[in-house]
A and B are shown apart, each in its own frame.
Chain A
């Protein structure tokens, strides 16, 4: 965009100030906002280097030993392993089921569409404590003990809606002419889906899977109701909050942060390269 420089007469101070305000305050504000967002993350990261014996609430001294031996504190890695297993299974199932629903809603007109939309919206509008309590009450009624699989089921249940919403948004943003063009070039419906639609929707599905995993991995309330004696990472942190959280938990939290950031940024870079091509 090229603009022609026009000599601007000097504005009165009030106007100059409003302009400056409009141009810069918002940027300064954004910096402050991001600082606020990251202070607790920095705290968590800093305290992962704390040379604390038991309780990691006050600063003792700097050490790398927590990072060298993240499984040093008992239960941390056990809980982490459970969280990852539950997260991977729940993410896979929720992504498949949710994507199917998203395609039905995004690409087809059928009777019961608005009822389906409501059914997808409801779990998101229900507080976690209600979701967790209701599911546990039902499991107990049917004589199913809380544990690993009830937790997986609970996680699939609350992840589906988020997957549907994310993938549906991606499908809605597609240009239908691309698919029409494929069909004009003699691709049949299946080929069009496999070679045009699916690759175009794939980033949305990947994003939905990442969202589902992070929701599942970070969930405490619903898990606490349905997991019984199975320990997950958030549950471990919550339970040990009273008697002191080992610094290894901060190592795990920080690692998850960097890992997720790495995945998202790599995805972003790949997307950028593709767009340039």
Chain B
């Protein structure tokens, strides 16, 4: 009898007879996200179509469904928009180029040091993100170890500086989001059964062919996850541009920040935020569809 009861209970929890339990588990968390994520986004959508109040008081706006805000905001900041996407794409590609071999080495060549090396990839994360960005300012700066040798080798002119440039911004972004790329890559590479690689070798594939036909396709979910996790924060970032850039490397994040705090132009800031979010979501959807890894989400 007891066995039957246990079996019945097991059936209950594993085959999923409808019960209230999952909803009770979901309720607090989803309620929180609805109030503090969905509602603000909807509110943002409303704000984006407001116009200045008749009273002319700074920072007060009324709802007028002024959709031209979007056109104006885009026309005013299209350069910063383009820059955000170009810098984020460059940083993502660089991070992929740096992370892939690193993740590969950890997954296949590290033996018993594997777990330690994974920890080491994340470890720099724990030093404040801003302190590391400022460290890059020092490294690339006039007294740093990079500028001198490059000048001595005449790779850059004697007047050229590396800081306050697009180069520095992309360098900082690549570095700061690197673990977001390395970890998913490692996770998918680590899941590959080494015997499949041996089998490829047995079938006369050389190292490169094995990589192209076996390893890389099997690691694709990691590549997709890594590029997304790097691209999204990079496209919305403005800290690197603020610390390592100059006025002509401003990104859309910098514009949203200054519209919000310095000019208190909430509708424009909201319209820009909304366009940024929409652009990223469209890119993600297209990208996931194309790479055929929809189970990712």
Q: Which residues of A contact B (CB under 8 A)?
A: 18-19, 21-22, 26-27, 29-30, 33-34, 36-41, 43-44, 47, 57-59, 97-98, 100-101, 103-104, 107-110, 116-131, 133-138, 141, 153-154, 156-157, 160, 164, 176, 180, 183-184, 186, 188-189, 214, 218, 220-221, 224-225, 233-234, 237-238, 241, 245, 249-250, 252-254, 256-257, 259-261, 264-265, 268
How many inter-chain residue pairs (CB < 8 Å) link A and B? 266
8 A–B contact pairs at CB < 8 A?
A43-B139, A47-B138, A100-B28, A101-B25, A123-B37, A160-B29, A218-B129, A237-B134
Given the known inter-chain contacts A39-B139, A117-B297, please indicate yes or no for A134 contacting B127, CB distance below 8 A. no
Closest to B12 in A: A189
Return chain B residues, CB-CB under 8 Å to A103.
25
- Asked whether A123 lies within 8 Å of B134 as measured between CB atoms, the reply is no
In this complex, the member of A29, A123, A124, A130 whose beta carbon has the largest number of chain B beta carbons within 10 angstroms is A130
A59 vs B122: C-alpha distance when bound (angstroms): 28
Return chain A residues, CB-CB under 8 Å to B101.
26, 29-30, 33
- Asked whether B22 lies within 8 Å of A108 as measured between CB atoms, the reply is yes
- Asked whether B26 lies within 8 Å of A268 as measured between CB atoms, the reply is no
Pick the contact of A180: B10, B40, B178, B238 (CB < 8 A).
B10
Return chain A residues, CB-CB under 8 Å to B127.
40-41, 44, 253-254, 256-257
Q: Contacts A40-B124, A157-B32 given; 14 further ones with Cβ under 8 A? A: A39-B135, A43-B135, A97-B28, A100-B29, A118-B297, A119-B38, A120-B33, A124-B229, A127-B232, A130-B256, A131-B37, A133-B273, A136-B260, A241-B130
Interface size in chain B (residues, C-beta < 8 A): 95
Closest 9 CB pairs of A and B: A127-B236, A109-B16, A30-B105, A260-B126, A40-B135, A97-B29, A134-B40, A108-B22, A104-B25
- Asked whether B266 lies within 8 Å of A108 as measured between CB atoms, the reply is no
Closest to A213 in B: B126
In this complex, the member of A18, A47, A125, A256 whose beta carbon has the largest number of chain B beta carbons within 10 angstroms is A125
Closest to B255 in A: A129
A44 vs B84: C-alpha distance when bound (angstroms): 28
- Asked whether B29 lies within 8 Å of A57 as measured between CB atoms, the reply is no
Given the known inter-chain contacts A58-B143, A268-B119, please indicate yes or no for A218 contacting B41, CB distance below 8 A. no
Given the known inter-chain contacts A101-B26, A118-B297, A133-B269, please indicate yes or no for A41 contacting B132, CB distance below 8 A. yes
Q: Which residues of B (258-279) have their CB < 8 Å from a CB of A? A: 260, 266, 269-270, 273-274, 276-277
Q: Which residues of B contact A (CB under 8 A)?
A: 2-3, 6, 9-10, 13-14, 16, 18-19, 21-23, 25-26, 28-30, 32-34, 36-41, 43-44, 47, 98-99, 101-102, 104-106, 108-110, 115-117, 119-132, 134-139, 141, 143, 175, 178, 206-208, 228-229, 232-233, 235-239, 243, 253, 256-257, 260, 266, 269-270, 273-274, 276-277, 280-281, 284, 297
Return chain A residues, CB-CB under 8 Å to B30.
101, 116, 119
Closest to B275 in A: A130
In this complex, the member of B18, B99, B135, B256 whose beta carbon has the largest number of chain A beta carbons within 10 angstroms is B135
Given the known inter-chain contacts A129-B256, A160-B32, please indicate yes or no for A261 contacting B123, CB distance below 8 A. yes
Closest to B253 in A: A129
Return chain A residues, CB-CB under 8 Å to B134.
237, 241, 245
Return chain A residues, CB-CB under 8 Å to B238.
129, 221
Return chain A residues, CB-CB under 8 Å to B281.
125
Given the known inter-chain contacts A34-B120, A44-B135, A137-B43, please indicate yes or no for A108 contacting B29, CB distance below 8 A. no
Closest to A133 in B: B273
- Asked whether A121 lies within 8 Å of B130 as measured between CB atoms, the reply is no
A74 vs B273: C-alpha distance when bound (angstroms): 35
Given the known inter-chain contacts A127-B233, A134-B44, A233-B128, please indicate yes or no for A98 contacting B276, CB distance below 8 A. no
Pick the contact of B109: A30, A184, A188, A252 (CB < 8 A).
A30
- Asked whether A220 lies within 8 Å of B232 as measured between CB atoms, the reply is no
- Asked whether A234 lies within 8 Å of B32 as measured between CB atoms, the reply is no
B119 nearest CB across to chain A (Å): 5
- Asked whether A138 lies within 8 Å of B39 as measured between CB atoms, the reply is yes
A106 nearest CB across to chain B (Å): 10
- Asked whether B138 lies within 8 Å of A220 as measured between CB atoms, the reply is no
Return chain B residues, CB-CB under 8 Å to A26.
101, 104-105, 108-109
